[in-house]
Structure 1
Amino acid sequence: MHSLYGDHLLQRLQQETEGALHQRLFRCLRSAIVEGVLPPHSRLPASRDLARELAVSRNTVLNAYEHLLAEGYVQARTGSGTWVAGTLPDSCLNAGGKPLPAPEVPFSPVKLSARGTALLGYASASPHQWGAFVPGVPDVTAFPHAQFSRIQARLNRQPEVNRLTYSSAGGCEALRAALADYLRVARSVRCEADQILITEGIHQAVDLVSRLLCDNGDRVWIEEPGYWGTRNLLRINGLKPVPMRVDEEGIVPVNDRLAPRLVFVTPSHQYPLGAHLSLARRRQLLALARQHGSWIVEDDYDSEFRFSGQPFPALQGLEPDAPVIYMGTFSKTLYPALRIGYLVVPKALVHPLRIAAAELYRGGHLLIQRALAEFIREGHYVAHIRRMRLLYGKRRAFLIGLIQRYLGESFIREFNHDAGLHLVLNLPERCDDVSIAASALRRGVKVRALSQYYMQGQTRRGLLLGFACVEEKNMLPAFNTLRQILTEYGITHTGNLA
């Protein structure tokens, strides 16, 4: 059985064709040392073992090792083999004592596809996903990791074979069953376990639905403003996002002869403004979808975190056999890197979506899905949400207090903010919120500009402030930095932002 070093040398020997075999092996070993494949102070394979792996004589290996020793690349230690020297010979170093750089290869621009170019042009994902005031990120340090690890360890001792191979069933059966029970009670969703498909988050769910239900050029209604991730996925899949205005009652539907194929909405907590979709608008959307054969895609991304009043039930459960595809995720309730989301689909779509998901993505992660099912069944999931709701409620109230005290009531967005993991900080209409967000980032405060969530030119100005992942003791200094930046842009405590 070959070692990694043996495999590497076998590949390099195929490229070395000049000179005797021991000379070729010496050059391959020297290159491996200079390039760091064989790092300083590492032990070279025993000559007998390496000879067997390379199918050469032991003398060939010994000759190569002796050459390395003579030039100072290795050191021989009596009774313990041959080791790479801690300092490379001067012949392969530059004046600074570092290995000579590899010769530069002329840069040749890569030609991307039109779709690939568009994808990069629309890319908006931030590399900054923790700290004050990253929106939409839960406090991942508060998750009961030890408890979850114990469940995983117990299940992983003797894992079932069907959890270790490919999955075409739409995810772990136990997780789908646990989710169905939870969603029926917590969100008034009408579903059975076989209507649930497990996905790797909302993005994969959007990709799957848009690929299977839409053709190139199909119109898709999205909220304006709305989540950039959904908008970009739709564009990349060749669809035409149509921005629909949002007011205090949520998305504003219109009677249009060009009916949408899909309608993407966040009815329980509109993202990013925070409005709740009124009952009248819900019925209007359902009637429109039935009339035109459209599908409503309900993104219920953070409905578990409501801090006052009664929770709003899911749009999907409002009417029997509603033309609604319900999307959910554990990214907000547990932690984003878990990469587990789910779809609840009408029965007519279960079979085609399940087959398409298996073809496109090859489902997996069944062991962690099974552990998550146990986590839900044993009551830990609901208990964790309850704890986080209290924690986030306190942090939200603290942030609102800072805004009211140091900036003023007019800086709080007029739409409902009694839910979710972020607030929208109002800014004057003519200010450059993108520039303000960039200035804040340079000083370690991570906010997002509200105007970037709009497709069209008429945009509101503001900043999204996430409070879930910021302890109160860290919130005040970050807020003071942000307030100083606003002052530098001429934005101060005022009762009127116009």
Structure 2
Amino acid sequence: MEILSEWLSAQLEQESAEPVYRQLLHLMQQAILTGRLAPGTKLPSSRSLAGDLHVARNTVLHVYDQLSAEGYVISTTGSGTYVADTRPDSAAVSLPPLDGETADEATATASPRGDISSRGQRLIDQAGVSAKQWGAFMPGVPDVAEFPARTWSRLQSRLWRSASHGLLTYAPGGGYRPLRRALSDYLRVARSVRCTPDQIIITTGIHQSIDLTVRLLADVGERAWVEEPCYWGARSVLQSSGLKLAPIPVDDEGLNPSEADLRDPPRIALVTPSHQYPLGMVMSLARRRTLLEYARQHNVWIIEDDYDSEFRYGSRPLASLQGLDDANQVIYVGSLGKLLFPGLRIGYMVVPERLAPIFRTGVAELYREGQLMQQAVLAEFIMDGYLTSHVRRMRTLYGERRQLLIDAVTRHFGDALPVMGEEAGLHFVLGLPDYADDRATTAAALDAGVIVRPLTGYYNGEQKRQGLLTGYACVPHEQIEPAFATLARVIEDQVFARAPNAKQRAA
């Protein structure tokens, strides 16, 4: 064992910040795993090894105890400590040969499995998530700098001072009841949603709300209508759940299914009727009534994604689709992220009364929800009127920034580039000519320090409209013009300078 002692002594770093105990344990584990210490090897006594290494005997005893606890060695009273045989069983990890096949043939014909599943690969290939989540002109992001953090902190501190045990454990099915009651009151007034507190389920956001709905109401392989174009995150959730997507085009009145689409009813229809994402149109009342009647007749579940409809400029926010639903086929989902701050990760869903017990059980069973303290703070924030006043103030602020950005577009391009979906929300779409490449333009803009998103990334099919999703909510007033000047130079270089006719402007 002199060789072991010499090797360990050479490897130990007496001046290291890592304790000698941890170093010695790691070295001996590696020696056993790599075969330096073969199975059956007897280790030196703790007294002998401690003397050779000039460390306390208790240090070696602790190391031997830990090696024994983790199965690296076997200690026998009166006999000593021996390296255990932990080598993998080759028979257990090899494929057995088929009848008439040799072991070598079985190994050669075995098809290797990839690191991720096929649906996982599709998810990664089609991912729309951005590495940057803040700055000009990131769409869909509120100005978190304007959030009343002091008010929130004061409410939170008050609750922590008198925190009950109930706020520190798992959330009951459906979430914190005072928050559900506060949201029920708010949604009835602000969004014309018809609901009771028992119909509200608290989630971590729209993604989880959609995921829960699909898991409880649809089976793998069933069809789901999605708007064309649609939000990439919702598309990813539906596809990862095993549903077959059926992209339905939108026009100026919203979702516009063809006769062929109507002949094959889906199980789920995901829509953004009050502010279509990403193009911004509003589903007409006639289309809403038609969709609701179709859902009633064919037992289609409608998921209404009402993601930012409180921010409407020049008119009052539009009523929800759920408020018109007499057949109880609408699952209404929303989030507080765009109203307050995205990192809050609190969303909600309103489900038909007959489904409420099922959804309360489902959310508790699948996700083991918590964050009751945050839910309690949010409940106080809503009940004390802070949410309503904050939304009112931010609607004015975002409206000013929206107009500044539209003015910048007009100054640089006149009417050559259309602005679409500017009546509501936190972004609009800046249309590009058909010959443009919005993905290349987006990449060039990012290199120049400006964030936009390519409109083509929101389409499922081959027919795609070129454009840039351009957000204004998180850009201070004074930064809008210089930031857009940078984007305008990128567009000139990437689009107009490469036009079939270099002087061509989009009609």
Task: Report what 2:312 is aligned to.
Answer: 306
2:331 paired residue number: 325
What secondary structure, in the 3-state scheme, does the structure 1 residue paired with 2:309 have?
Answer: coil
Q: Match for residue 168 of structure 1?
A: 172
Question: Structure 1: any 5+ residue segments left out of the alignment?
Answer: 31-46, 58-107
SS state at 1:221 partner: strand
Q: Does 1:350 align with 2:356?
A: yes
Q: For residue 436 of structure 1, report the CA deviation from its aligned partner.
A: 0.3
Aligned 8 A contact 1:218 1:240 in 2: yes
Which residue identity does 2:211 align to in structure 1?
A: D
Deviations 1:80-123 (A, max 9, x none): xxxxxxxxxxxxxxxxxxxxxxxxxxxx9962222322222222
Deviation at 1:480, TM superposition (A): 1.0
1:186, distance to aligned residue in structure 2 (A): 0.6
**2:330 corresponds to 1:316:** no
Q: Counterparts of 1:270 and 1:217 in 2: how far apart (Å)?
A: 26
Distance 1:202 1:29 in 2: 61
Task: Report the aligned-residue RMSD.
Answer: 2.9
Residues 80-479 of structure 1 mapped to structure 2, 5 A cutoff: 111-255=115-259, 256-414=262-420, 416-479=421-484
Other-structure match for 1:41: none
Q: Compared with structure 1, are the counterparts of its residues 349 and 376 closer, same or farther at alpha carbon in structure 2 (3 Å cutoff)?
A: same
Identify the residue that residue 506 of structure 2 maps to in structure 1.
497
Q: Displacement, 1:158?
A: 2.5
The CA distance in 2 between the partners of 1:379 and 1:143, in whole Å, is 14
Per-residue Cα deviation, 1:377-401 (whole angstroms, up to 9, x for no partner)? 0011111111101110000000000
What is the TM-score of this pair, normalised by structure 1? 0.80
Listed as ranges, the matches of 1:40-51 within 5 Å are: none
1: distance between equivalents of 2:418 and 2:51? 70
Moved more, 385-394 or 320-329: 320-329
Question: In the aligned structure 2, how far is the partner of 1:385 from the partner of 1:170?
Answer: 25
Aligned to 1:391, the other structure's residue is in SS state: helix
Are the counterparts in 1 of residues 230 and 277 from structure 2 also a CA contact under 8 Å? yes
CA separation of 1:23 and 1:141: change in aligned 2, threshold 3 A: farther
Cα offset, 1:409, TM superposition = 2.4
Note if contact 1:170-1:357 (Cα within 8 Å) is conserved in structure 2. yes
Q: 3-state SS of the aligned residue for 1:398?
A: helix
* Residue 53 of structure 1: how far off its partner (Å): 10
Q: Separation in 2 of the partners of 1:305 and 1:452?
A: 24
Please tell me the residue identity of whatever aligns with 1:364.
G
- Alignment partners' CA distance in 2, 1:428 and 1:183: 40
Question: 1:440·1:446 contact (CA, 8 Å) conserved in 2?
Answer: yes
Superposed CA offset, 1:236-273 (max 9, x none): 11101111111111111334221011111111110000
**Distance 1:29-1:189 versus aligned 2 partners, 3 A rule:** farther
Residue 96 of structure 2 is matched in structure 1 by none
Are 2:456 and 2:466, in contact at CA under 8 Å, matched by a contact in 1? Answer: yes
What CA deviation, in whole Å up to 9, does each residue of 1:325-382 have, x standing for no partner?
0001011000111100000000111111111111110010000100000000001111
Between the aligned partners of 2:449 and 2:198, the Cα distance in structure 1 is 46
- Go from structure 1 to structure 2 and tell me whether the alpha carbon gap of 1:159 and 1:490 turns closer, same or farther (over 3 Å shift): closer
TM (norm. structure 2) is 0.78
Q: Would the aligned equivalents of 1:403 and 1:412 in 2 still touch at CA under 8 Å?
A: no
1:490, distance to aligned residue in structure 2 (A) = 4.1
CA contact (8 A) 2:438 2:456 kept: yes
Alignment-derived partner of residue 103 in structure 1: none
Say whether the 8 Å CA contact 1:13–1:25 is kept in structure 2.
no
- Give me the whole-angstrom Cα distance separating, in 2, the residues matched to 1:140 and 1:494: 41
Alpha-carbon separation, structure 2, partners of 1:421 and 1:154: 33
Correspondence for 2:3 = none
User: For the structure 1 residues 491 and 55, does the alpha-carbon distance in structure 2 shift closer, same or farther, using more than 3 Å as the test?
Assistant: closer
Larger Rg: 2
Runs of 4+ in 1 over 6 A off after TM superposition: 4-7, 22-30, 492-495
Q: CA deviation at 1:276?
A: 0.6
- Between the aligned partners of 2:203 and 2:503, the Cα distance in structure 1 is 46
Letter in 2 for 1:12: H
* Separation in 2, partners of 1:438, 1:22: 65
Once residues 61 and 117 of structure 2 are traced to their aligned partners in structure 1, the CA distance between those partners, rounded to angstroms, is 43
Q: Distance in 2 between matches of 1:308 and 1:27?
A: 83
Question: In the comparison of the two structures, how many residue pairs are matched?
Answer: 427
Counterpart of 1:12 in 2: which secondary structure?
Answer: helix
Q: CA 1:139–1:52 in structure 2 vs 1: closer, same or farther (change >3 Å)?
A: farther
Question: What one-letter code is carried by the residue in structure 1 that aligns with 2:122?
Answer: A
1:12 aligns with 2:26: yes
CA contact (8 A) 1:268 1:313 kept: yes
Q: Larger deviation: 252-261 or 476-485? A: 252-261
Identity rate, percent: 48
SS in 2 for 1:409: coil
Secondary structure of 1:411's match?
Answer: coil
Q: Secondary structure at the match of 1:268?
A: coil
* Counterpart Cα distance in 2 of 1:333 and 1:125: 20
| Aligned residue number for residue 34 of structure 1 | none
Q: Does the CA-based 8 Å contact 2:25-2:63 persist in structure 1?
A: no
Shift of 1:51: 5.6
Instruction: Give the drift of 1:163.
Output: 1.6
After superposition, the Cα gap between the structure-2 partners of 1:186 and 1:110, relative to the gap in structure 1 and judged at 3 Å, is same
| Unpaired segments ≥5 residues, structure 2 | 1-17, 33-42, 66-111
CA distance in 1, matches of 2:494, 2:125: 29
Secondary structure of 1:289's match? helix
CA-CA distance at 1:12 after TM superposition: 3.2
